[in-house]
């Protein structure tokens, strides 16, 4: 696949959701922002993340921490007062819960984990600056009925709908239950984070009311011919691991996951760290900004681990 | 999980689709019918099949054969005269084709493969008798949109809707494209073929008009609590392999597969051999028999390979 560089519109280096205009182009920003930065990752790990847009960790959370997160998830999903807050997203068929957003604001357990050095330190090092929490959620992906996620770049959404200027953000997908090959684990096309794939449809008003369920998506999904070409060229990775294992991935990674038809739930915590030098503003391609439980507008840095120095 | 043995109704050793009556019970027939039978399988392979209800083969079809099958599949799915024959089952969302049935009657290529010693010899040996072809189909499971199959035992359907007396039948799932962990491959609970899991709903009239699409299934799907208990006890296998690889599995195996959200189609040929001593009759639990393109009522034996003797 040949990536084409387009002339950017004024101030918008990643034009997308422009009807009829969809040629993919090369990412305009780094992936690893300061290769010499101190932190938990070796230079080999930084190189791998730079190349693939993703990196795995065997056990960043303890068994006690994942158990506590699952307990908190059960508490939050049972809390009927949250149902109308928008934070609790039902499954598209109406049976069960697909996601709970902003869990770090709803639970001290999640807040502590999200702010821990073990997790935030990875983001500090890769993004080369202080970071803040852009979004958190738990995707429940229940046994038998848990729905999937089609091919997309998170940055394409955050740029369009939240006003994130550049792909200087990073997600951690943290297994709270085992992620097996058969219960809908994360898939990434390694290396596709170097290509920005514009979407061809305009963002409908209040799009998040339906888009978070993953059905009837005019805007956001990556062009299928482009996904196919990139996957043929670059391959495919599917991430499996026990509870406590983690995948860190670039905000512009092309990723998806299958529905879960197995009898084992696949429940993951997602944490998105954004650079404090990349704070969000006016949406680039949406009528209005999304609620802050989907895209925080409080840019308070996560405390920098002491050993990183000043 | 403790399997409970129920009193069978007169002449029906596998009562199912009786509202309110759903306790699972132990299979009442053998899995491997003649362990001393000659054939392509070693005694170790027969033991593994007996224990697990499934067995894999690396390359039973050549690259030329799988390519020819894919060409024939393309021809059959493009043939508009077949669309109203019932043999071509659309995807539940109406986009694309989910399955094509009775391919061995529609194509000499498929017929030759289905009747080949390399495939039928496995069925001969395990079922311990001459065999005939009960059903064939190609499941296309297209890239991005290919739908999945929920947990079920094929025998539960063939017994209820086709009048198959005993689980003395065997399926081959033959990869025509690579079956990867991420494109919706077959999952089986190994050992669950020893347990019969009755369904609790009566078979609606002309059920195959909707059931083959896999949506809104009152009758047929295995009870979820039972599936969960069996999977916790026995584990889970997901079968991957290149084009030409094969999984043989018992007609009462509990199996399922996820939808395919990957950019790579997962297209498999399914061939069901039944023992000539187990020919089908009046359905045990359905208003009327299904069409013969779903359940053959021509019981002509596949020619027995010469080296098996008389």
| pLDDT tens-digit readout, B239-280 | 999 999 999 999 999 999 999 999 999 999 999 999 999 999
Structure tokens at B157: 């359907």
Block residue for tokens 């799907």:
B221
Torsion sign, CA atoms A279, A270, A161, A12: positive
Averaged pLDDT score across all residues of chain B: 92
Q: Are residues A261 and B263, on separate chains, in Cβ contact within 8 Å? A: no
Which residues are CB-neighbours of B27 under 8 A, at least 6 positions away? Answer: B167, B193, B194, B195, B196, B252
Radius of gyration of chain B (CA): 18
- CA A75 from chain centre, in angstroms, equals 23
Nearest to A178 by CA among B235, B54, B256: B235
Residues of B in contact with A264 (CB under 8 A): 231, 236
Contacts of A257 in chain B (CB under 8 A): 261
pLDDT at position A94: 83
Q: Is B257 helix (H, G, I), strand (E, B) or coil?
A: strand
Q: Where are the domains of chain B?
A: 51-79+99-196+220-308
CA dihedral A181→A184→A185→A188, nearest 10 degrees, is: 110
Q: Collect all residues from B whose CB is shorter than 8 A from any CB in A.
A: 143-144, 148, 150-151, 180-182, 184, 187, 224, 227-228, 231-232, 236, 238, 256-264
Q: Choose among B150, B231, B259: nearest Cβ to A258.
A: B259
Contact present, B283 and B186 (Cβ < 8 Å): no
Q: Which strands make up the sheet holding A268-275, listed edge to edge?
A: A54-57, A246-250, A169-175, A268-275, A131-139, A97-101, A88-90
Q: Which fold has domain A51-79+99-196+220-308?
A: Jelly Rolls (2.60.120)
Of B148, B231, B238, the CB nearest to A263: B231
* Residue A34: pLDDT band with limits 50, 70, 90: confident
Query: What pLDDT does residue A52 have?
Result: 98
Alpha helices by DSSP H, A93-143: 103-106, 108-114, 117-127
To the nearest whole Å, the CA of A172 is away from the closest chain B CA by 21
Among the partner residues B258, B263, B264, nearest to A261 by beta-carbon distance: B258
pLDDT digits (tens, 9 = 90+) for B132-182: 999 999 999 999 999 999 999 999 999 999 999 999 999 999 999 999 999
Best mutation target, A145, A152, A181, A190, to test chain B (most B CBs within 10 A): A181
Low-confidence winner among A225-234, B35-44, B67-76, B178-187 (lowest mean pLDDT):
B35-44
Using left for φ > 0, alpha for ψ between -120 and 50, and beta otherwise, residue A216 falls in left
Can you give the length of chain B in residues? 310
Q: What is the pLDDT of residue B8?
A: 41
Q: Is the pLDDT of residue A8 over 50?
A: no
DSSP state of B220: S
pTM, entire model = 0.92
Residue B149 half-sphere exposure toward CB, CA atoms < 13 A: 21
Q: State pLDDT tens for residues A36-85.
A: 778 999 999 999 999 999 999 999 999 999 999 999 999 999 999 998 89
How large is the ipTM?
Answer: 0.91
Quote the tokens at residue B291.
């069409």
User: In whole angstroms, what is the distance from residue A184 CA to residue A146 CA?
Assistant: 8
Mean pLDDT along residues B27-49: 92
Residue A9 DSSP symbol: B
Query: C-alpha B97: how far from its chain's center?
Result: 19
Q: What is the pLDDT of residue B306?
A: 63
Distance CA B32, CA B51 (A): 10
Quick count: other Cβ atoms within 10 Å of Cβ B95? 10
pLDDT digits (tens, 9 = 90+) for A22-31: 899 999 999 9
* Contact flag B182-A263 (C-beta cutoff 8 Å): no
């Amino acid at each position: 696949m040949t990536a084409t560089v387009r002339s950017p519109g004024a101030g918008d280096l990643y034009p997308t959701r422009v009807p009829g205009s969809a040629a993919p182009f090369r990412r305009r920003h780094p992936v690893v922002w300061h290769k010499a930065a101190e932190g938990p990752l070796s230079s080999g790990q930084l190189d791998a993340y730079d190349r693939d847009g993703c990196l795995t960790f065997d056990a960043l959370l303890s068994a006690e921490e994942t158990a506590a997160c699952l307990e908190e998830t059960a508490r939050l999903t049972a809390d009927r007062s949250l149902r109308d807050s928008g934070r609790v997203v039902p499954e598209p068929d109406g049976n069960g819960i697909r996601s709970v957003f902003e869990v770090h604001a709803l639970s001290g357990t999640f807040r502590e984990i999200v702010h821990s050095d073990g997790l935030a330190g990875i983001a500090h090092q890769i993004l080369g600056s202080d970071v803040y929490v852009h979004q958190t959620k738990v995707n429940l992906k229940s046994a038998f009925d848990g729905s999937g996620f089609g091919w997309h770049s998170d940055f394409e959404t955050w740029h369009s709908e939240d006003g994130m200027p550049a792909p200087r953000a990073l997600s951690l997908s943290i297994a709270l239950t085992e992620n097996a090959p058969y219960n809908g684990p994360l898939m990434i096309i390694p290396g596709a984070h170097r290509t920005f794939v514009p979407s061809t449809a305009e963002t409908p008003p209040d799009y998040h009311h339906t888009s978070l369920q993953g059905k009837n998506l005019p805007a956001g999904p990556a062009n299928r011919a482009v996904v196919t070409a990139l996957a043929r060229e670059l391959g495919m990775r599917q991430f499996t691991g026990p509870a406590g294992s983690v995948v860190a991935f670039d905000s512009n990674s092309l990723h998806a996951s299958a529905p879960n038809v197995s009898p084992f739930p696949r429940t993951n915590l997602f944490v998105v760290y954004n650079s404090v030098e990349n704070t969000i503003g006016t949406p680039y391609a949406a009528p209005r900004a999304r609620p802050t439980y989907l895209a925080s507008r409080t840019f308070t840095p996560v405390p920098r681990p002491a050993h990183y120095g000043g």
